[in-house]
Amino acid sequence: MKNLLAAVDLGSNSFRLSIGRVAEQNGTKHIYQIDRLKETVRLAAGLDSAKMLNQESIKRAIEVLHLFGDRLRTFHPDRVRAVATNTFRVARNVADFLPEAEAALGFPIEVIAGREEARLIYTGVSHTLPVSQTKRLVVDIGGGSTEVIIGKGDEPVLMSSLYMGCVSFSRKFFPDGKIDAYSLKLAEVAARREIEPITKPYRKMGWDVAYGSSGTAKALYAILTEGKFSKDGITREGLERLKAKLVRSGRVIPDQLPGIKTERAEVLTGGLAIMSAFFDEMGVERMQTGDGALRLGVLVDLAGREESHDRRDQTVTAFVRRYHVDARQATRVKRCALTLFESLFPERGEQDELKQTVRWAATLHEVGVSIAQAGYHKHSAYILNNADMPGFSKVDQESLGLLALAHTGKLSRADALIKTKDQWLAILCLRLAVLLCRRREDVSKLPLTIGVKNQTITCKVDKKWLASHPLTDFSLHGEEDEWVKVGYNFELIPV
């Protein structure tokens, strides 16, 4: 099991599980998928006009997640990553549904932002392609959103997530399955309106080869080639011939379309309209298909975290530069916070993920200073909650934002957001580290130790050091009042 990783992709149309074996060849890690499960859930079809998921869709999703959970029962949590995409992002009742979904799967589910989805898709597609520095356009038409990426080699350069997909467009423009020239044109125009804002920068950057990934692109490729609509993959001419065929037939008739899978018939026309709009708006002439997609990207990302190439570390480093963070001060705070954290969790490996969050939060706690020094912790929390942070899930970003918000000032602001005692302890470590480093001078040895028993925090401080740091003494006494307000006793003991 040590060389196995699992990715769960909870899309708007299908739920997928991929299990990959990690193998190293010539110093490079490769992912070989050894098991796959796919179930068509049509989650996006369960959204009503108020963006609420209906109970029937939720029930279908839970049933599939139980199946996936059974397959993953022997996996360690560190070797599984479950990501949820557009429907989870937009459903207003997802907070009610998510705990039940996580219980069924047996693992946390990350609702990822559109740009993070785009990054992972490109990672998955590039992993299956030959090593090359050519510029690649990748279009992934999902059930509820469409991701568009231009990358070079293994690195995405431009990333966008558009709010349109094969399920949502099929429901909106072809609700009864009937197809006519007017409805098809209407759908294409609507898709072109969504694409238009990104057309100029994408065409300006340009690309050498275009790839379509996931179900819609693969379905169109199979239909166009096997049905003799196109001789060379997905082409403009092939798409026009397929559209003409569907208009003549009046609906999708699987028996008349070699290469189509039965479950794809209901959402084919919406996906076709979007793909045709891309060809027209972006000036694409021919598109190949890429075998990799979101789930493979998740596996590659997991493998990278294992060998200390965590994409989140790169993002944090980029944020330090972007927001002109005082790197030396960030390092001081980080060292102090981690020393305190390790004293509370002395067992190796204990609370590793929370420790990572403390490390990143300590590094980025001053990003808000780039907006204003007054109330900078609130600005920091806003940035970390809302900025595009490649590699970070929404849950990751919420945890970072929480620590940034609570690292100074009133603890009561964070009280309603805290879910576990360990989160309070992480905040404690960061708050004390910031106090100790207020002079922005290196702290060679911590002048205090902390211990926590039940609801009592004991902070023992070197009294000679305390006497020479009256401002810190004053601030530590202020901590006593703050912690009492959130239900803890804070005992400051000079020694």
Specify the pLDDT at position 349: 66
Distance, CA of 297 to CA of 309 (rounded, Å): 14
Cβ contacts of residue 417 below 8 Å, gap of 6+? 398, 402, 405
| CA 212/CA 274 separation, integer angstroms | 12
Cβ contact 455:432 at 8 Å: no
Q: Distance (Å, rounded) from C-alpha 7 to C-alpha 495?
A: 51
The whole-number pLDDT of residue 174 equals: 95
Amino acid 118: pLDDT: 92
Question: Which three-class secondary structure string do you get for the chain?
Answer: CCCEEEEEEECCCEEEEEEEEEEEECCEEEEEEEEEEEEECCHHHHECCCCCECHHHHHHHHHHHHHHHHHCCCCCHHHEEEEECHHHHHCCCHHHHHHHHHHHHCCCEEECCHHHHHHHHHHHHHHCCCCCCCEEEEEEECCCCEEEEEEECCEEEEEEEECCCHHHHHHHHCCCCCCCHHHHHHHHHHHHHHHHHHHHHHHHHCCCEEEEEHHHHHHHHHHHHHCCCCCCCEEHHHHHHHHHHHHHHCCCCHHHCCCCCHHHHHHHHHHHHHHHHHHHHHCCCEEEEECCCHHHHHHHHHHHHHCCCCHHHHHHHHHHHHCCCCHHHHHHHHHHHHHHHHHHCCCCCCCHHHHHHHHHHHHHCCHHHHCCCCCHHHHHHHHHHHCCCCCCCHHHHHHHHHHHHHCCCCCHHHHCCCCCHHHHHHHHHHHHHHHHCCCCCCCCCCCEEEEEECCEEEEEECHHHHHCCHHHHHHHHHHHHHHHHCCCEEEEEEC
What pLDDT does residue 29 have?
67
Q: Which residue, among 119, 130, 110, has the nearest Cα to 8 in the 3D structure?
A: 110
CA distance linking residue 86 with residue 183, whole number of Å: 24
- 8 A C-beta contact, residue 100 and residue 78: no
Helix axes 470-485 and 421-436, enclosed angle (nearest 10) = 160
Rounded distance, CA 147 to CA 140, Å? Answer: 5
The whole-angstrom separation of Cα 103 and Cα 98 is: 9
Domain residue spans in the chain? Answer: 4-113+296-302, 129-290, 310-444
CATH topology of domain 310-444: Hypothetical protein af1432 (1.10.3210)
Pick the closest to residue 284 from 150, 114, 180, 165 (CA basis). 150
- Kindly report, residue by residue over 217-231, the tens digit of the pLDDT: 999 999 999 999 988
Q: Does 3.30.420.40 match the CATH number of domain 4-113+296-302?
A: yes
Amino acid making up residue 120:
L
The CATH fold of domain 129-290: Nucleotidyltransferase; domain 5 (3.30.420)
**Confidence at residue 28, expressed as pLDDT on a 0 to 100 scale:** 63
Q: Using an 8 Å Cβ cutoff, are 275 and 282 in contact?
A: no
Would you say 120 and 113 are in contact if contact means Cβ atoms under 8 Å apart? Answer: no
List, for the chain, all residue ranges whose pLDDT scores fall below the cut of 70. 1-2, 24-29, 306-309, 348-350
pTM of the model: 0.74
Fold agreement between 4-113+296-302 and 129-290: yes
Angle in degrees, CA 204, 294, 187, rounded to 5:
60
Whose CA is closest to 17, among 66, 77, 79, 82? 82
